[in-house]
Amino acid sequence: MSNSPIFIVGTERSGSNLLRLLLDSHSQISIPHPPHILRYFAPLEAGYGDLCDRNNLRRLAQDVIRLLECHIHPWESLPDPDLIVSLAKPMDLFGVFVAIYEWHQQEAGKARWGCKSTFMIDHVNRVLARFPDAKFIWLVRDPRDVAASSRESVFNPCHPYLTATLWCKQQRIGLDYEELLPKANWSRLLYEDLIAEPEQTLRELCGFLGENFEPQMLRFFETPEAKRSASLSQSWANTASPVQRDKAGKYRKTLNEREIRLVEDAAGEVMAQLGYKLDFEPSGFAASQPSPVELAIGEFVGRCRVEWKSLRRDRNHWQRWRRDWEMALLGVRYGGLSNSSGNPPVERQLTGG
C-alpha cells in the first residue's frame, strides 16, 4: 500500500470524470472534483510577491479558497486560510495546493489523495520536486471522440480543430514523460480499454497505484458524489450511470467527414504513435487548416450554442460565470506582474530548470 499522491493528467473530455469517481470510490483514495488551482493561479503566482512573506502567502491562500467558494462542483466544506498557510510546504502556490488537498483528504477520512485536474500535465516538475514517488495516470482517448464530446461541453473548445491541436500538444508532453520517467511514476491508460474491460483495467491500475482492487469501485455511480456531479451539469450527466462500453467511436455519428479529416490531419502523427487508426488518408495538414475567419466564426457559434444549452439545463451555469469573472479580476490585478511565459520543455521540467 502506498500513500503517494495520484494525478490524472492528459486532455479534458477523455473520461477523467469517470476515472475520478472510480478511484474516489476506493476506501483508501480521495479525489475531489478539481477547482484547477494551478491552472488558474500559476500565471498569477509571481504577482503576489515574495511568498516567503506570510502576508503575501495568506493573500494567495485566501484567493485560492475564494476559487473553492466559486467552484462549479462545490466542496462540502472549506479550509481556514491561516491553517493552509501554516501547512504550506514549500511556501508557494504548490504548497498551498498540497495543503488544501491534504486537508480535504483528512476531511474525507482516506489514506491518500489524488487530483483530477488534467492540466497538471503542465506542472509535473513541481509535483516531482515535492513528491518523487507521485503516481501519474496519463489518460488518453481517441481525439475524434474527444472533439465530439468537447463540442457539446461548455468547459472546452467547441471547434474540432482547436480540440485536435490542444490534444496533440498535451499528448506530446505525455509521450515525452512516458519515455523519461520511471514506470513506477508514469502509467498510460487508454479510455477505450477502461470502458471495454473496466474490472481488468482497474485491477491493473490498482497494481500501479499499490492498492488492492475493490469491487465497489465499479458501483461508483451509486455514490452521492456521482449523483451530485450528474445533477450539476449536462457535461457530467453520465457520471450517475455505469461504465458505458459503447462510448468508443461515437464520433462517427456526430462529426461530419470534414471535421473528422480536420482532427486526423492535425493529430494523425500522434494518433499513430498511440495506436489509433485513421479513417481517411492524410490530406496534408496545411491544406486542411481552417482559415482564421472560419475558425473564429465556428468557435463563436459553437460557444453560443453550448452556453445557451448550459443556461437552460445546468445548475452551475451562473456559478461558472461567477468563477470566470472573479478569476478575470484577479488576472487584471496580478497577471501583469507574472513572469510566466509558458511551460518549459519537458527536459527542463524534469531537472527543475
Rounded percentage of the chain residues whose pLDDT exceeds 70: 93
pLDDT of residue 72: 93
Q: Which tens digit of pLDDT belongs to each residue from 191-224?
A: 999 999 999 999 999 999 999 999 999 999 999 9
Q: pLDDT at residue 8 above 60? A: yes
Q: pLDDT at residue 235 above 50? A: yes
pLDDT of residue 31: 97
Q: pLDDT at residue 255 above 90? A: yes
Average pLDDT score, the chain: 91
First-to-final CA distance of the chain: 32
Alpha helices by DSSP H, listed for 131-236, are: 143-150, 160-180, 191-196, 198-209, 224-232
6-341: CATH number: 3.40.50.300
Name 94's Cβ contacts closer than 8 Å, sequence gap at least 6: 38, 123, 126, 127, 130
**With contact defined as beta carbons under 8 Å apart, do 136 and 235 qualify?**
no
Amino acid residing at 111: A
Q: Collapsing DSSP states into helix, strand and coil, what is residue 223?
A: coil
What is the 3 state secondary structure string of 71-127? Answer: CCCCCCCCCCHHHHHHHCCCCCHHHHHHHHHHHHHHHHCCCEEEECCHHHHHCHHHH
pLDDT of residue 346: 45
pLDDT of residue 340: 39
Q: pLDDT at residue 337 above 70? A: no
The whole-angstrom separation of Cα 23 and Cα 220 is: 9
> Which residues make beta-bridge pairs with 255?
none
pLDDT of residue 284: 60
Q: 63: which 3 cell numbers?
A: 484567493
The whole-angstrom separation of Cα 101 and Cα 37 is: 10
Query: Can you tell me the mean pLDDT for 117-143?
Result: 96
Q: What confidence category does residue 21 fall into, taking pLDDT thresholds of 50, 70 and 90?
A: very high
Q: pLDDT at residue 4 above 90? A: yes
> How many residues would you count in the chain?
353
pLDDT of residue 5: 98
pLDDT of residue 286: 52
The whole-angstrom separation of Cα 250 and Cα 84 is: 44
Rounded percentage of the chain residues whose pLDDT exceeds 90: 83
Peptide bond into 157 cis (omega under 30): no
Q: What is the pTM of this model?
A: 0.92
Which of 158-172, 225-239, 293-307 shows the lowest mean pLDDT across its residues? 225-239
